[in-house]
């Protein structure tokens, strides 16, 4: 059985999640419960859970901050349960390698899908797949390079971007930058760039009803509109024209399909 730690500051929601969810059906058991980020951090160290499901806004620190602190110090998978359907939260969760972003009220089918994704990752690790290198707590230089790389890519999202180009901007080697992304436990370089571009495309198509598909593609760094549409459909699940015409997915839903 996979051990699950639940982190939620609302007692009724926490108990409901614990009692109403058929954990055994998913091959899981609730190993512990925490009402704030500080308590969760302690229990992660003590209980060594396989999966942590956490709220975002809690006393003593957010769930995203908890994940950021603990991601490189444990082998567990993280899932976010939140009442906030916000693009910035979803983007941050993608960078941190979160397995799912589930909106309250909880949908059992969505939880099942996300749990299955987390369990697949755990099974790959247990089967002897090459483990990702992780940061230790003091590796702030590596973290700063990663943050600068991501910030640069986001600022220059509409340009032609390569690993070598970004590394040159940071004055480090492309092989070193590639290793930093691999070691982070989150998306690799190209995957992060693609995910950010697709989420930017979703935001553009949602916020500007008059924007043309080729304009959205160009503003996301794609000169080939057909290729942009192919990537958009692969990530989001529908082509950009259908999305623009009224088909809407929340950022959290998009994250869960990646």
Q: pLDDT category, 167, cuts 50, 70, 90?
A: very high
Q: Give pLDDT tens digits for 201-228.
A: 988 887 888 999 999 999 999 999 999 9
What is this structure's pTM? 0.53
Structural domains of the chain, ranges and CATH numbers in brackets: 2-126 (3.40.50.2300), 140-257 (1.10.10.60)
- SS3 sequence, 18-55? HHHCCHHHHCEEEEEEECCHHHHHHHHHHHCCCEEEEC
DSSP result, the chain: -EEEEEE-S-HHHHHHHHHHS-GGGGTEEEEEEESSHHHHHHHHHHH--SEEEE-SS-TTS-HHHHHHHHGGG---EEEEEES---HHHHHHHHHTT-SEEEESSPPHHHHHHHHHHHHHHHHHHHTT--PPP---TT-HHHHHHHHHHHHHHHHTTTS---HHHHHHHHTS-HHHHHHHHHHTSS--HHHHHHHHHHHHHHHHHHH-TT--HHHHHHHTT-S-HHHHHHHHHHHHSS-HHHHHTT----HHHHHHH-
Residues 70-79 have a mean pLDDT of 86
Confidence of residue 144 (pLDDT cuts 50, 70, 90): confident
The yes-or-no verdict on residue 182 having pLDDT over 90 is no
Whether residue 73 is predicted with pLDDT greater than 50 in this model: the reply is yes
Is the predicted pLDDT of residue 53 greater than 70, yes or no?
yes
Q: What percent of the chain has pLDDT over 90?
A: 35
């Amino acid at each position: 059985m996979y051990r699950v730690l639940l982190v939620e500051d609302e007692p009724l929601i926490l108990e409901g999640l614990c009692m109403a969810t058929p954990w055994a059906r998913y091959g899981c058991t609730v190993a512990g419960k925490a009402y704030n980020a500080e308590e969760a951090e302690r229990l992660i160290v003590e209980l060594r859970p396989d999966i942590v499901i956490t709220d975002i806004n809690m006393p003593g620190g957010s769930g995203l901050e908890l994940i950021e602190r603990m991601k490189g110090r444990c082998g567990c998978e993280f899932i976010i349960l939140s009442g906030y359907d916000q693009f910035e939260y979803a983007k941050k969760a993608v960078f941190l390698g979160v397995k799912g972003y589930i909106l309250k009220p909880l949908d059992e089918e969505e939880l099942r899908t996300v749990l299955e994704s987390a369990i697949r990752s755990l099974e790959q690790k247990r089967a002897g797949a090459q483990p990702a290198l992780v940061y230790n707590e003091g590796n702030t230089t590596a973290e700063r390079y990663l943050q600068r790389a991501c910030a640069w890519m986001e600022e220059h999202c509409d340009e032609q971007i390569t690993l070598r180009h970004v590394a040159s901007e940071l004055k480090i080697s492309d092989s070193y930058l590639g290793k930093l992304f691999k070691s982070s436990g989150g998306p690799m370089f190209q995957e992060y760039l693609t995910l950010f571009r697709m989420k930017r495309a979703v935001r553009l198509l949602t916020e500007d009803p008059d924007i043309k598909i080729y304009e959205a593609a160009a503003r996301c760094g794609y000169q080939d509109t057909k290729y942009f549409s192919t990537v958009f459909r692969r990530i989001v699940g529908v082509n950009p024209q259908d999305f623009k015409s009224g088909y809407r997915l929340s950022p959290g839903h998009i994250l869960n399909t990646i």
